[in-house]
Structure 1
Amino acid sequence: MLKNQKDMLLYDSIAASEPRNTKPVSCQFYYMLLQSNRLISLDALRGFTIAAMIMVNFPGNEQYVYFTLRHSKWNGLSFTDTIAPVFLFVIGVSIVYAYTKRLTDGTAKSSLYKKIVFRSLKIFAVGMFLNLMPEFDFSNVRWTGTLHRIALVFMFCAVLFLNTNWKQQAWIAVVLLVGYWLALTLIPTPGVGKVMLEPGVNIVAWVDSKYLPGKMWQGTWDPESILSTIPAIVSGITGMLAGRLMISRFSPGEKVNYLMTAGLFSAIAGYFWGLTFPVNENLWTSSFVLVTSGLGALLLGALYFIVDIRGYKKWVRTGVIFGANAIAVYVLADVLALFFYRAGFGGLPLNELVVNELVQAGMQPELASWVYALFFVAINFVPAYILYRKKIFIKL
């Protein structure tokens, strides 16, 4: 039996939205769910994603980088392009776990709203700090970036979760993706007179030129633009849908099956949509959302099977350690880069010195650059490990 009324409320909220043809499960199942440990596969996926962000952001030499470790110049999909949307997908899953528990504990929504907004502002402020560092030139500041987008997606998705059920969230995702597709393919770019999807001359870039303050990453356009934040929110919503599945009363095996199946069909749908609305991270196109959210679901499903069902937890320990202080480690990497990418000897920064030595030893330049990037990830693992061992969890 459930121990108190709060547990019963969660049981009712979960059971009410379950498919009617599923087999009834005892209340004890939901109580065990409430009391269970964190989803280790989710923590691992969060950590591995942050480690991948650091790896691609800090190569040994910007001139020598494997294609797939760079962002696509425009249309297309590289490994690097998938990292940010998968992290937003993870945020969506995490929202379900975090706020389902808080609602069950009887926390008032008004209190949750304040915490959500405050946390979003903190993440946004840290993003601004990283953009300004190290010169702190306020006259040439960029108001967008990875942390800025994380802050906005988290805020909108968390508020949405508190006020809608999973079916409403699914419909909102569909409307936003279709609406974004229609806007970009039907509305001519002002001043051009026709629909354009090329860099700097599309409707997304035009809106930024009118309403986005500060400088843009690419001069005339920015990959973290105003309009593209809309489909980025959908990346978070897809994570919330996956999270809803993970706390459902389906058996672990059924959860894996549904999650992997949904991921596969999402990626396929995104691929075929991409034939007419190209997969493009810079515009965060609707097809891009489906492909990357599908990948997120497949990764979570695979890790859930390996780690939480089969019990192979040692395999993902590194990811769990990174994931325990994910955003804090991401920020720390930028700070450490001031030394590892600026300090050096003989007029060359440390990264170039190391890469040059590796190349002279016979290593391919791109491989040498990647090896240094992995070395920098390992450097960031040290403080992450110390924080984890001391059970210090920095929540931005």
Structure 2
Amino acid sequence: MLPGTAVRWATKHGFMRAGINAAARKGDEQARFFTDPAVRADPYPFYRGIRETAPLVRSRLMWATARHDLAGAVLRHEAFGVGFSDRPLPAPIGLMFRFSRRSSPIGPVDPPSMLVTDPPDHTRYRRLVSKVFTARAIEGLRPRIEQTCADLLRDKPADLIADFASLLPVTVIAEILGVPLDMRQKFLAWGNAAAPTLDLGLSFATYRQTEINIRHVNDWMRGHFARLRREPGDDLLSQLVRLDDLSEDELLATAGLLLAAGFETTVNLLGTGAWLLMRHPEQLAILREQPQRWGNAVEETLRFDSPVQVTARVCRKATEFGGEAIEPGHVVMAMLGGANRDPEVFPDPDTFDVTRTNAREHLSFSGGVHYCLGAALARLEGEIGLRMLFERYPDLRIDGEPHRRTTRVLRGFESLPVTI
């Protein structure tokens, strides 16, 4: 066992897991989101119930909203932040947590990752990355993404996730970060194993395995930084290394987040988009007749079945929000998947419609200062990947039982068997 693993699990997940299970036993509705397999399989009726109960619903665990206006507002509100590790803890637990962090690997949800860091540190990290992650640079990747798609689609996919949806984004992000192509499968395995860290209340066995894989990524990345310092390339990571404005831990957190975010959510976007279009051939027919709509089809996929279902913010100062008094330390969960089906914003929200005029108003890329830095890249890969997939294999269809991922924050397919 890694040093401090049990203590880190207890402070990050163990106490929360016990609280979730206790709340579930008492009939707490929000606890069902974390415990009920039926909600994981289809969370949208659950979101509807939350939305119809009240604009902002409180449980034993936290506040929650599935309304589009409030979910968007909490992401932008100055009284809320993401630095959950800064929340006050009982003295013994706080001491345990600080001690355990000495040997902790740095994952996507560990400081100093941008995902869990508030301004001013977040502002500094994002400004540095934005210098080399520009819209012009992303659009410049279009020819390379198209070539990668063409290479991957030479062979008929049997499992759309393993043979295409996972390989396209991991290949692209590997090139952006200067990672050798032969590491592609290794990073997929590490990324898939680390993905559950976004969920709450992990079992000890699951958490232990995620730590092992995150440590593998950390160790490899440290060696990679040294190589790039000796022999820098034209990739984004070489540019970040050359800036010399980030500490080793900050560089590690930034690279790890870009790597994970660069393919985890896009795998889900591609898999879900293909699944939806195979199940709705009338929508695919529209895209064949009007190919200019492929970009909007990606937006509708993001709205209809978001790759990231929920995100949370912690209150920093007492504030009135959604008609309720929110105290410091209270957590508000923005149910993005529910907000994206709010009928006040999206008429007939449970219908998948690639011609929907306001599909882009979804919240799938979060909002405010934490709006997804890779949104443009995900959109580009989604548009090119789905278009070229169905151009190459117009008769693609589901062939067997798809299997969804077991995660709850990230939603997508683990396997999607298809035939031509």
TM-score range, shorter chain: under 0.3
**TM-score, with normalisation over the residues of structure 2?**
0.24
Name the structure with the higher strand share.
2
Superposition TM-score, scaled by structure 1 size: 0.25
Higher-helix-fraction structure: 1
